[in-house]
């Protein structure tokens, strides 16, 4: 039996780490990516097929070529601010692309699907630890598009028996401790790499978007998960499906939130360097506080995050930042 797993977005930040984790777990990852935001240099752990998820004929060809046992679906646009100003881009790519992928998977009788969703589907629910039963009320097109894909998966399970595991998480951070793959976006939008760019002089300063939130220091609070812990959960989710345990939703988080200023303070301790700061206005679509509990993943999947603390996340990202990477 084939042990091939399709990894959409496998040339991106999380997807490339997932390919490394899958390879280490004995699977054969195949990256599907159009390189709109990914980097071919990140594809190091298996074959690469370049194409777009809205192209059904291409999908049918690659499913026939590899006959995968499962799909691990990361490919998506994910910038909250952009999703507020260009919603059509998010609905077309994230929803139509995902629908086409799901249809192709079912047609190829590939009935195990692991989906990278987001706590942004919950919307702005402050001062609570979100669990899988929390009401989903997204406040931006990014969160809404991910919620729509969750509903597509539920519909396809009911109609065709598509087994799926959905992971909802928010801020992914850190990099491969061995610095084989890491985090690099153009443009960069994530807090820790932006901060490290400011520390190293690659940008003039880190802009803090909003300092008047109802939090202890006025900046947004988020729950950060190390990318290696995150993709480890995805491998466990795949095994869950392969063991015939059925469809399930899991949150992935630590249950502890850190403000932007707290992340900055930790970076000073890790790098022994100062962070130049500019205080800016709030961004549309940003929530005040998002903290995601993971008791279900811990109890049912046996997930044990080991690097999801700010020290390790920043140190691993700093190691990657200082190494040669995809920037050319």
**Whether pTM exceeds 0.85:** yes
* Active-site amino acid positions: 142
Q: What integer pLDDT is reported at residue 126 of this predicted model?
A: 67
CB 51 within 8 A of CB 34: yes
Mention every residue, 6+ apart, whose C-beta is less than 8 A from residue 226. 172, 173, 174, 305, 306, 307, 308, 309, 312, 313, 316
* pLDDT per position as a tens digit, 10-65: 999 999 999 999 999 999 999 999 999 899 999 999 999 999 999 999 999 999 99
Question: Residues 263-271: what's their mean pLDDT?
Answer: 91
Q: Which range in 106-115, 125-134, 264-273 is most confidently predicted, on average pLDDT?
A: 106-115
Going by their DSSP bridges, the two strands 163-168 and 112-116 should be labelled as: parallel
Which among 23, 1, 34 is positioned nearest to 11, based on CA atoms?
34
Task: Identify the CA nearest to 9 among candidates 17, 294, 89, 56.
Answer: 17
Nearest-5° angle of CA 324, CA 13, CA 272? Answer: 55
Domains and CATH numbers, the chain: 4-173+225-251 (3.40.50.720), 191-222+255-322 (3.90.25.10)
């Amino acid at each position: 039996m084939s042990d091939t797993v399709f990894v959409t977005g496998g040339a991106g930040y999380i997807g490339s780490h997932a390919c490394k984790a899958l390879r280490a777990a004995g699977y054969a990852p195949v990256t599907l990516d159009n390189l709109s935001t990914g980097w071919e240099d990140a594809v190091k752990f298996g074959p690469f097929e370049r194409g777009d998820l809205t192209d059904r004929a291409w999908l049918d060809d690659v499913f026939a070529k590899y006959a995968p046992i499962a799909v691990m679906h990361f490919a998506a646009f994910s910038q909250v601010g952009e999703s507020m100003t260009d919603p059509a881009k998010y609905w077309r790519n994230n929803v139509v692309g995902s629908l086409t992928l799901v249809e192709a998977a079912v047609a190829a009788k590939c009935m195990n699907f692991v989906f990278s969703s987001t706590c942004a589907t919950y919307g702005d629910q402050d001062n609570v630890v979100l669990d899988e039963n929390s009401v989903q009320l997204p406040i931006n097109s990014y969160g809404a598009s991910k919620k729509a894909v969750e509903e597509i998966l539920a519909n396809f399970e009911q109609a065709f028996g598509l087994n799926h595991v959905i992971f909802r998480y928010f801020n992914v951070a850190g990099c491969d401790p061995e610095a084989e793959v890491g985090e690099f976006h153009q443009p960069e939008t994530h807090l820790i790499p932006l901060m490290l760019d400011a520390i190293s002089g690659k940008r003039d300063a880190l802009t803090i978007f909003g300092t008047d939130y109802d939090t202890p220091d006025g900046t947004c609070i988020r729950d950060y998960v190390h990318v290696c812990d995150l993709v480890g959960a995805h491998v466990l989710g795949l095994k869950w499906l392969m063991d015939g345990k059925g469809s399930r939703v899991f949150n992935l988080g630590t249950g502890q939130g850190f403000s932007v200023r707290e992340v900055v303070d930790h970076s000073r301790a890790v790098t022994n360097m100062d962070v130049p700061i500019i205080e800016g206005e709030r961004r549309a679509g940003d929530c005040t506080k998002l903290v995601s509990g993971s008791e279900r993943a811990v109890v049912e999947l046996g997930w044990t995050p080991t690097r999801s603390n700010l020290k390790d996340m920043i140190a691993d990202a700093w190691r990657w930042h200082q190494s040669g990477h995809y920037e050319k």
